[in-house]
Amino acid sequence: MSTSSSMSLHIWVITLVGLTIVLGFDLALAYFNRNKKTSLKSATFWTLFYVGLAIIFGLSLAAWASEGARSEFFAGWITEYSLSFDNLFVFILILARLQVPEEKEELVLLIGIVSSLFLRGIFIAGGSALVNRYSWIFYFFGLFLIYTAISLFRENESEEWKEGRLISFIRRKGASTFVLALIAISTTNVLFAFDSIPAIFGLTKNPYIIVTANVFALMGLRQLYFLIGGLMKKLVYLTEGLSLILAFIGVKLVLEAAVTGGHHKILGIAIPEISLSVSLGFILIVLATTAIVSLAAAKRAEQGS
């Protein structure tokens, strides 16, 4: 990666203070509306607001970072945001399966997103420490993403979410539906972090970009939940699209690890360098194709029924 991983302290402070203020506002909004059902109009407004905020941030990055940082941010943010769609699908299944009242969903998602931010912060710090100390860790990251991609591709999305042993045990102890939902979403967030952090390390090694891309991907996730409940049923090939993206980034990481280790050829063939522009283009094309094919399939299914 051409972008320098160093960023001045005052840039970090200004950025983190700004993100904290925005997140604090969003969390306060969720808390005050914790007993209200979120309207479609409100969900649409705030989803567009946070997407717009991320785009403005990404475009303005060149003013204090570089053109490379801008490209890395958009590649990372789009990838993390795409993975969030799949995460939300699981959230929908969990809340539906546990029959959480609609007016309580907002608070459950609020606490779930806070826990996700906390977990990703730990994973980013740990991942950065490993990357700086062990270059071979990219082999592990790459192979893990390829394995995850294969697992995603083979899973059956039509199956309902099933309670694990931990949730069943806590239910038997008399825990409320609200508590069960919080624990289910929080534990699921651990699995999501395992996927998302290696994925973004495959696109950038810059801690500033990794942190901001992840935070912006989680911004507005609560409102997006209420917006895409019906849309998720139409994005029937979303998982397959995400599996292709994860597999692509996994292969990219393995190839980069090989070159870093001094292996520039495989079976006499030079290992290609996959640029960030190629990565970003691939991600956008896969997501666009996935959406088009999914909506077309959903339309055919509606017409055939």
Q: What is the mean pLDDT of residues 183-200?
A: 76
Asked whether residue 3 carries a pLDDT value surpassing 70, the answer given is no
Query: Which residues, at least 6 apart from 97, have a Cβ–Cβ distance to it below 8 Å?
Result: 160, 161, 162, 163
Residue 114, pLDDT score: 79
Would you say residue 229 has pLDDT above 70? no
What pLDDT, on the 0 to 100 scale, is given for residue 82? 80
Reported as a pLDDT band with limits 50, 70 and 90, residue 86 is low
pTM exceeds 0.85: no
What is the arithmetic mean of pLDDT over 31-43? 77
What average pLDDT does this structure show over 57-75?
A: 86
Is residue 130 over pLDDT 60? yes
Residue 101 φ/ψ, nearest 5 degrees = -55, 145
Specify which of 22-26, 76-80, 113-117, 157-161 reaches the highest per-range mean pLDDT: 76-80
Burial category of 158 from C-beta neighbours within 10 Å (exposed 0-12, middle 13-18, buried 19 and up): exposed
**Lowest-confidence region among 2-6, 10-14, 58-62, 111-115:** 2-6
CA 135 to chain centre: 24
Max mean pLDDT range (39-43, 208-212, 277-281): 208-212
What pLDDT score does 189 carry? 74
Count CB atoms within 10 A of the CB of residue 174.
Answer: 7
What is the percentage of the chain residues whose pLDDT exceeds 90?
A: 7
Asked if residue 255 lies in contact with residue 272, where contact means CB atoms within 8 angstroms, the answer is yes
Q: Which residue has the higher pLDDT, 111 or 296?
A: 296
Query: What is the reported pLDDT for 199?
Result: 83
**What is the average per-residue pLDDT within 187-193?**
73
- Whether the pLDDT of residue 279 is over 80: the answer is yes
Question: Quick check: 2 pLDDT over 50?
Answer: no
Average pLDDT over residues 111-125: 80
Radius of gyration of the chain (CA): 20
